[in-house]
C-alpha cells in the first residue's frame, strides 16, 4: 500500500509534465501570446524539476520522507488551482514553476521508499512497478487532456491534480511511516543548492531556447556559459563543504555512474523521438491532436506492460540486470533505425513496429537501470542518490529534444507548418538516425553496469505462497 501511494505521487508529477501539451494552442490564443512564449508553460516546469530534484532528495534525508512527500503534494495542488485561476501568461508560468517545486519532491521520495521498504531480492520488482507508472502517466495525460480541453477549455487540465492530490494526502496519512536518513547532522548546503540551480537552469535554458534565440546568439551563449561556470563552482563547493548537498563520491560507484549515463542517453532518444513523432505523423496521416495522442499512446503502454515484467525477471534471477538493460536498449535502437528506414513512406502502419520496438526496448531497460543505480548507495545518501535518475532523465530529455529537433529542422526550407511532407520525412529520418546513435551508446553503458545479485531459490512452501499471490 505504501508503494502504491508513493507510485501514484510520482505519477502525479509525471502527468503534470505533459498534460498541458494539447492545451497550449488554446492557452496561447486566450492569453494573447505566441507559441514560443506559451512553450514556457512546459519548459518552466521541466527546468524547475531538474533544478529542485537534488534539493528535494536531500530534504527527505534531513527532514523525513513522508513530511517532504506530503509537502510536495500540497504544493502541487495549491499551484494547480492558481494555474487554473491565472490572469495572464506571466502568472501562469510563475505558478507552473511553483508547481514544479512541489512535483520535484515526489519522484525521489518514491524511489527512496521503494529502496527502503523492500529487501534487495524484491527491490527490482518494486522498481519495475515504478517504471510502469512512468509509462502509464503519458497515456493518462495525453488522452485525458484531449477530453478535458474539448469539454471545458484549457484551464480544466489544472483541476486534475487537486482531485488526485486529496486522495494521495489521505493515503499518506494512513500507510506511510516517517523515514529519514540515519545521520546526526541536520545542516543544509544552501550555496551548493544555488550553484546547482545556476548550472542546470543555465544549461537547460540554452538547450530549450537556443533554437528560438539562435544558437550563436549572445543570450544563448551567455546562458550556456553561466551553466558551465555554475557547474564548475558547484563541484568545487561540494568538494570542500562539510555537509555537501550531493556527495560527489557517489560517482565513484560504477553502478551509479554507468546506470545514470545509460538512463540519460536513453531519455534523450525517447523524449526526442516523442517530440518529433507528432510532426511526422501529422504529415503522414494528418491526425488531429486527440488522434496524435491515441497514435503515440502505444509507446507509453509498452512501459505499463513490460517494465514491471522486466523487474520481476531480475527479482527471480531469470536475467542479469546489465544484460537485460543492454538488450532492451539494443531493441530500442533497432526500432528507431526502422523508423528512419521507412520514414519516406509517410505511413503510420509502417512506423508503428518501430515505435513498439522503441517502447518495449526502453521499458525492458527501465527497472534494471534504476535498480542498479541505487544498489550500492549508502542509506544515509539514499535520498540524494534517488534523485539522480530523474535529473539525468530531464537533462537527457532537454539534450535529446534540442538535438533531434535541430536534425529535423535542418531538412526544412522554412517553418515546419508549410514544409513539404517529403522534407518532414527526411528530417524525421535524420532525427531517428541520431536517436539510434544515442541508444547504441546507452546500450554500451548498460552493458558495463555491474550485474545485480539474483534471488536464491525459494523453499517449496514459500514458492507456493508466492504463486498463489501472483
* Candidate ranges 3-7, 139-143, 365-369; pick with highest mean pLDDT: 365-369
Whether 1-176 and 250-454 share one fold: the answer is: yes
Asked whether the predicted pLDDT for residue 417 surpasses 70, the reply is no
Residue 224 has pLDDT above 70, yes or no: yes
Q: Which three cell numbers stand for residue 363?
A: 521499458
Instruction: Kindly state the percentage of the chain with pLDDT values over 70.
Output: 81
Which residue did the predictor score with more confidence, 132 or 431? 431
Query: Looking at residues 202-224, what average pLDDT do you find?
Result: 80
Q: Are 45 and 96 in contact (CB under 8 A)?
A: yes
3-class DSSP assignment, residue 289: helix
For 445-460, how does the pLDDT look when each residue is reduced to its tens digit (9 = 90+)? 999 988 765 443 333 3
The residue-averaged pLDDT of 191-216 equals 77
Label residues 255-279 b or e (16+ Cβ within 10 Å = b): bbbbbbbbbbbbbbbbbbbbbbbbb
Task: Give domain 250-454's CATH superfamily.
Answer: MFS general substrate transporter like domains (1.20.1250.20)
Please, what's the largest Cα pairwise distance for the chain?
68
* Separation between Cα atoms, residue 131 and residue 138, nearest integer Å: 12
Q: Which CATH class is domain 1-176?
A: mainly alpha
Render pLDDT for 284-326 as a digit per residue (tens, 0 to 9): 777 776 777 788 888 878 877 888 788 778 776 667 888 899 9
* Exposed / middle / buried, residue 443 (Cβ in 10 Å: 0-12, 13-18, 19+): buried
What 8-state DSSP symbol labels residue 288?
A: -
Q: Where are the domains of the chain?
A: 1-176, 192-240, 250-454
CA distance 446 to 328: 10
**Confidence check: pLDDT of 3 > 70:** yes
Residue 454's pLDDT is: 45
pLDDT band, very low/low/confident/very high, at 104 (cuts 50, 70, 90): confident
Q: Using a cut of 0.85, tell me whether the model's pTM lies above it.
A: no
Amino acid at each position: 500500500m505504501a508503494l502504491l501511494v508513493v507510485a501514484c505521487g510520482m505519477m502525479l508529477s509525471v502527468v503534470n509534465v505533459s498534460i498541458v501539451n494539447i492545451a497550449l494552442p488554446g492557452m496561447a490564443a486566450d492569453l494573447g501570446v505566441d507559441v514560443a512564449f506559451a512553450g514556457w508553460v512546459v519548459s518552466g516546469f521541466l527546468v524547475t524539476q531538474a533544478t529542485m530534484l537534488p534539493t528535494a532528495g536531500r530534504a527527505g534525508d534531513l527532514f523525513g520522507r513522508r513530511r517532504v512527500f506530503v509537502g510536495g503534494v500540497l504544493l502541487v495542488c495549491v499551484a494547480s488551482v492558481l494555474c487554473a485561476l491565472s490572469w495572464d501568461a506571466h502568472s501562469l508560468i510563475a505558478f507552473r514553476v511553483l508547481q514544479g517545486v512541489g512535483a520535484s519532491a515526489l519522484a525521489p521520495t518514491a524511489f527512496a521508499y521503494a529502496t527502503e521498504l523492500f529487501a534487495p531480492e524484491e527491490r527490482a520488482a518494486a522498481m519495475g512497478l515504478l517504471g510502469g507508472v512512468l509509462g502509464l502517466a503519458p497515456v493518462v495525460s495525453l488522452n485525458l487532456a484531449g477530453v478535458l480541453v474539448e469539454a471545458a477549455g484549457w484551464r480544466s487540465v489544472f483541476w486534475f491534480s487537486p482531485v488526485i492530490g486529496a486522495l494521495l494526502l489521505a493515503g499518506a496519512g494512513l500507510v506511510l511511516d516517517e523515514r529519514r536518513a540515519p545521520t546526526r547532522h541536520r545542516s543544509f548546503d544552501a550555496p551548493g543548492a544555488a550553484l546547482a540551480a545556476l548550472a542546470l537552469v543555465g544549461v537547460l535554458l540554452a538547450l530549450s531556447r537556443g533554437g528560438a534565440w539562435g544558437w550563436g546568439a549572445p543570450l544563448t551563449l551567455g546562458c550556456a556559459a553561466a551553466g558551465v561556470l555554475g557547474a564548475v563552482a558547484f563541484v568545487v563547493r561540494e568538494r570542500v563543504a562539510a555537509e555537501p548537498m550531493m556527495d560527489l563520491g557517489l560517482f565513484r560507484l560504477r553502478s551509479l555512474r554507468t546506470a545514470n549515463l545509460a538512463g540519460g542517453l536513453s531519455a534523450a532518444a525517447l523524449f526526442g523521438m516523442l517530440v518529433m513523432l507528432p510532426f511526422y505523423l501529422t504529415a503522414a496521416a494528418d491526425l488531429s491532436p486527440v488522434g496524435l495522442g491515441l497514435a503515440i499512446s502505444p509507446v507509453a503502454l509498452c512501459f505499463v506492460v513490460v517494465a514491471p515484467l522486466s523487474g520481476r525477471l531480475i527479482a527471480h534471477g531469470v536475467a542479469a540486470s546489465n544484460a537485460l538493460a543492454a538488450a532492451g536498449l539494443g531493441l530500442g535502437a533497432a526500432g528507431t533505425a526502422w523508423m528512419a528506414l521507412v520514414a519516406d513512406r509517410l505511413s503510420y502502419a509502417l512506423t508503428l513496429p518501430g515505435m513498439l520496438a522503441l517502447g518495449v526496448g526502453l521499458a525492458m531497460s527501465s527497472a534494471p537501470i534504476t535498480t542498479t543505480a541505487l544498489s550500492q548507495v549508502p542509506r544515509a545518501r539514499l535520498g540524494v542518490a534517488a534523485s539522480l535518475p530523474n535529473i539525468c532523465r530531464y537533462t537527457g530529455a532537454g539534450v535529446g529534444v534540442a538535438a533531434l529537433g535541430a536534425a529535423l529542422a535542418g531538412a526544412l526550407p522554412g517553418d515546419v507548418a508549410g514544409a513539404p511532407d517529403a522534407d518532414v520525412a527526411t528530417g524525421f529520418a535524420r532525427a531517428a538516425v541520431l536517436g539510434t546513435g544515442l541508444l547504441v551508446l546507452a546500450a554500451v553503458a548498460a552493458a558495463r553496469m555491474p550485474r545485480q545479485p539474483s534471488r536464491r531459490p525459494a523453499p517449496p512452501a514459500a514458492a507456493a505462497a508466492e504463486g498463489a499471490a501472483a
